[in-house]
Chains A and B, each alone.
Chain A
Amino acid sequence: MPSDSIAITGLGAISACGNNTDETLHNFSKGARSAGKVSLFKTELDYPVFEVKGFSQENKFMMRTIVLSFCAVKEALQEARLEGKLGDFRVGICLGTTVASQLNDTDFYSAYRDKGSAPMDSVNRYLKSNLAGCIAEFLNLRPKLCATIVNACSSGTDAIGAGLSWLRNNYCDIVIAGGADELNRVPYDGFSALSVMSKTLCAPFDRDRLGLNLGEGSGVVILERASLRGKNNFKLNLCGYGLAADAYHLTAPRPDGSGLENALSQALNEANIYVKDVDFINAHGTATHDNDLVEGSVLARVFGSKIKFLSTKGFTGHTLGGAGGLEAVFTCLGLREGWVPNSAGFENIDEKIGIAPVKERTRVSGKYAISTSLAFGGNNSALVFSRN
């Protein structure tokens, strides 16, 4: 197994907070939040969402998730200076999603139910929309490994973690990893039924939080062994990954937070660092009562009251399978730029949690940062990033 460190050589992001990483940083610095009514599908419900704007989907046949993901992939490859050069390497593609994995087209199903037959257009679109496979096709690539991770809200984080495993085992030279999801009626209705959506802008970790807002987007990182392209001046690394199951409940986190604590412990061990080395944490922070209580309490218990942490979901909404990818990119941007934005929506400390996220743009100067994800099904994941 190669002992090389794993460098992050490219970042790509598209969300309601910006259609690339520069726009995202600009909106982070302004504290701009751009939620609004749903425009992508008809609904009787009235929860605000974070849709990606100023984004044209030229190919109407493709699922929006795929097109969002390709935007992020292109940006990340450009930064990594790998556009058109991937053919020289053993490339892996590992991407997480939820929506793109489901055949959930209501028009198709309605026609089938009513008439016993339905046009196959949406089925054909679904069959052409395996996220990782589609990106390989867009890049005109026969990847060495290609996998779509469907671990609900931690899919993007776990896809990056799987990419790390592939590189460490020398299965690939380069891995395109991250996550993507579009805003879709099925999860919109489903989260409403679970009573975890807020009719106002979400307020992660706030005492008076009322629930999450859904969003959409994609975040992608380019991972490669640091020595792959000779001498380099890469600034960022992926150092550790942990994942652990709650084995508790399909939709609620284990109240004692021990699953997340296990994931954090694994990730820190892999990175060979201690809790004191961690400068900041980009938390999952959905703004639901249960998630934030459990996650915030674990962060307080593990890292102490001084830890700098934030949730960026106040800027993007909860992008489900895209969240882990986007938040990995945001964590890397924090390390690279030396600052993180305010934890948008937060005002009052929740005494049951006992610690508060950053309320304003905050300088970060340490070497290590963590991104966490907690998912449906009780999956907990954590990634450790560093800067050189």
Chain B
Amino acid sequence: MYIAGMGIIFNRGRGLDILEKALEDGWVNSGSVYGVPEEVLKDKIVLKDARRADDFSKMAILAAHDALADSGLGEKIKPKLGIILATAFGPHATTFRFLDDILNFGDAQVSPTLFSHSVHNAAVSYIASTLQSRGPTLTITQFADSFQQALILADSWLEEKRCEYILVGSVDQVGKVMEYIVSQKLKFAPDGKIRSFNFSKEPECIPGEGSAFFLVTNNQKDKKYCAISGVTSLKEKPDLTILDSDGFAGDESLYREVLGKGTLVSSCAPIFGSMLTLSSFSAVAAALMLKKQKFYASPVRENPHNLNLCVENKAGKINSISCLRYDCNAKSSIINLRN
């Protein structure tokens, strides 16, 4: 399937221009959590019918909207459009606000609005309403494999012609409670920097949040970026491997074992922060690199294992990039992108 459009919202802002600048700039210290600033979620035009939506849904709406807008395909494809959203944890911040109601006021005095927004598929419902898209909509949660499973289903839907175009993406959020949970379960990087190439058994993380969306299709004429040539297995040696070693899924020593000798390596985790759906963000960066035919330097350079790191921003011939992720059960998943 081909990527016809992309949208992204993350710690440094919204849009592909912001992403390109972030890739140029590399790592900057964004604090102990890479949250999306509140002002980034203010868009009175796109969000005019989603004023009551929570930040989880707003991030997803904006990224999905931007992916469709980026394609330039607009209204004409809406009758043929499906939406698949991946999320590792769902709108947990809203769920905890709903629990506040229960604890503060009792079972009988809770907010129906908070309840309806605490459901995982609230975001995809808002996307459908905002875009006035009446096709199939689905939400998947599979922790570190959520986005990969969403891509596989998107491919299935396109192959069986359930849809001609699909907005497939991810959204995840960091709230105060999640921050606390991460602090109890994992190690925070004390200087705010994720060191993706340490391959530690107890890696350090910086929780991030955001949303990344792709408009995908089997229509080659609509290809704007590249093809997603496969999910879950490494089909060939890529020109660049982006590691999603972000400290969020435990032992990272396996990354070292799987890398072939001389493989050119990078990681976008230090830009986006740690998320179980990080692969979707890495894939946006990869598609941008393929489009621009430009390597961006790895945002961190600590390289204790002497990997062949991508260390400078430079033009180059790039045919394929793979995004590699290990989950907590040592299961790998790979998203292969190809021009």
User: Complex: how many Å from CA A186 to CA B115?
Assistant: 8
A169 x B155 contact (CB < 8 A): yes
Q: Which of B23-31, B180-188, B305-313 contacts A (4 or more CB under 8 A)?
A: B180-188
Q: A193-B115, A194-B115 are in contact. Are A244 and B121 (CB under 8 A)?
A: no
In the complex, whether A189 has a CB less than 8 A from a CB of chain B is yes
Chain A residues in 8 Å Cβ range of B136:
243-245
Q: A192-B108, A247-B133 are in contact. Are A147 and B119 (CB under 8 A)?
A: no
Q: Which of B4-12, B138-146, B262-270 contacts A (4 or more CB under 8 A)?
A: B138-146
Q: A120-B185, A377-B121 are in contact. Are A43 and B107 (CB under 8 A)?
A: yes
User: Complex: how many Å from CA A259 to CA B100?
Assistant: 34
Chain A residues in 8 Å Cβ range of B257:
none
User: Complex: how many Å from CA A1 to CA B161?
Assistant: 12
User: Complex: how many Å from CA A248 to CA B134?
Assistant: 9
In the complex, whether A234 has a CB less than 8 A from a CB of chain B is no
In the complex, whether A229 has a CB less than 8 A from a CB of chain B is no
Q: A103-B92, A130-B142, A146-B142 are in contact. Are A165 and B157 (CB under 8 A)?
A: yes
A169 x B108 contact (CB < 8 A): no
Chain B residues in 8 Å Cβ range of A43:
107
In the complex, whether A166 has a CB less than 8 A from a CB of chain B is yes
Chain B residues in 8 Å Cβ range of A349:
none
Chain B residues in 8 Å Cβ range of A110:
99, 103
B103 x A113 contact (CB < 8 A): yes
B-facing residues in A129-184 (Cβ within 8 Å)? 130, 132-133, 142, 145-152, 158, 162, 165-166, 168-169, 171
B-facing residues in A289-323 (Cβ within 8 Å)? none
A-facing residues in B121-160 (Cβ within 8 Å)? 121-122, 124-126, 128-129, 131-143, 145, 149, 152-153, 155-157, 159-160
For this complex, into which size category does the number of interface residues on chain A fall? 35 or more
Chain A residues in 8 Å Cβ range of B18:
none
Chain A residues in 8 Å Cβ range of B142:
130, 132-133, 146-148
Partner of A130, one of B120, B137, B143, B177: B143
A165 x B141 contact (CB < 8 A): no
In the complex, whether B95 has a CB less than 8 A from a CB of chain A is yes
A103 x B107 contact (CB < 8 A): no
A248 x B129 contact (CB < 8 A): yes
Select the residue from A1, A109, A195 with max chain B CB neighbours within 10 A.
A109
Partner of B135, one of A117, A127, A166, A244: A244
B96-126: contact bitstring with A at CB < 8 Å (1 yes, 0 no)?
1011101100111011100111111110111
B98 x A186 contact (CB < 8 A): yes
Partner of A1, one of B83, B160, B185: B160
Chain B residues in 8 Å Cβ range of A259:
134
Closest to B50 in A: A250
User: Complex: how many Å from CA A266 to CA B149?
Assistant: 23
Chain B residues in 8 Å Cβ range of A376:
116, 119, 121-122, 125
Chain B residues in 8 Å Cβ range of A106:
99, 102-103
User: Complex: how many Å from CA A1 to CA B133?
Assistant: 28
A-facing residues in B157-215 (Cβ within 8 Å)? 157, 159-160, 162, 177, 180-181, 184-185
In the complex, whether B247 has a CB less than 8 A from a CB of chain A is no
B90 x A101 contact (CB < 8 A): yes
In the complex, whether B56 has a CB less than 8 A from a CB of chain A is no
In the complex, whether B89 has a CB less than 8 A from a CB of chain A is yes
A251 x B137 contact (CB < 8 A): no
Partner of A145, one of B119, B122, B138, B149: B149
Chain A residues in 8 Å Cβ range of B92:
102-103
Q: A1-B160, A158-B138 are in contact. Are A145 and B152 (CB under 8 A)?
A: yes
A44 x B106 contact (CB < 8 A): yes
The smallest C-beta distance from B209 to any residue of chain A, in angstroms, reads: 16
User: Complex: how many Å from CA A382 to CA B102?
Assistant: 35
User: Complex: how many Å from CA A103 to CA B185?
Assistant: 15
A45 x B108 contact (CB < 8 A): yes
B156 x A169 contact (CB < 8 A): yes
Closest to B177 in A: A112
B-facing residues in A228-258 (Cβ within 8 Å)? 243-251, 258
Q: A109-B99, A185-B102 are in contact. Are A165 and B118 (CB under 8 A)?
A: no
Chain A residues in 8 Å Cβ range of B185:
120, 123, 127
Chain A residues in 8 Å Cβ range of B108:
44-45, 189, 192
Q: A147-B149, A262-B134 are in contact. Are A109 and B96 (CB under 8 A)?
A: yes
User: Complex: how many Å from CA A120 to CA B181?
Assistant: 8
B110 x A189 contact (CB < 8 A): yes
B121 x A150 contact (CB < 8 A): yes
Partner of A190, one of B110, B120, B124: B110
Chain B residues in 8 Å Cβ range of A194:
112, 115-116
User: Complex: how many Å from CA A276 to CA B259?
Assistant: 58
User: Complex: how many Å from CA A179 to CA B102?
Assistant: 27
User: Complex: how many Å from CA A259 to CA B117?
Assistant: 21
In the complex, whether A98 has a CB less than 8 A from a CB of chain B is yes
Chain B residues in 8 Å Cβ range of A244:
134-136
User: Complex: how many Å from CA A377 to CA B107?
Assistant: 23
Ranked nearest first, the 3 interchain pairs of A and B with the lowest CB-CB distance are: A190-B115, A377-B125, A150-B120
A-B contact pairs, 30 of them (CB 8 A): A44-B106, A101-B120, A101-B141, A102-B90, A109-B177, A120-B181, A123-B185, A142-B331, A149-B138, A150-B120, A186-B115, A189-B107, A189-B115, A190-B116, A191-B115, A192-B108, A193-B111, A194-B112, A194-B116, A243-B136, A243-B137, A244-B134, A245-B83, A247-B131, A376-B116, A376-B121, A376-B125, A377-B122, A377-B125, A377-B137
A: which residues have CB within 8 A of B? 1, 43-45, 98, 101-104, 106, 109-110, 112-113, 116-118, 120, 123, 127, 130, 132-133, 142, 145-152, 158, 162, 165-166, 168-169, 171, 185-195, 243-251, 258-259, 262, 266, 375-379
Further 18 A-B residue pairs, CB within 8 A, beyond A44-B108, A247-B134, A376-B122: A44-B107, A104-B98, A127-B143, A148-B140, A150-B140, A150-B141, A162-B138, A162-B156, A165-B156, A189-B108, A194-B112, A243-B137, A244-B134, A244-B135, A245-B125, A250-B126, A378-B125, A379-B125
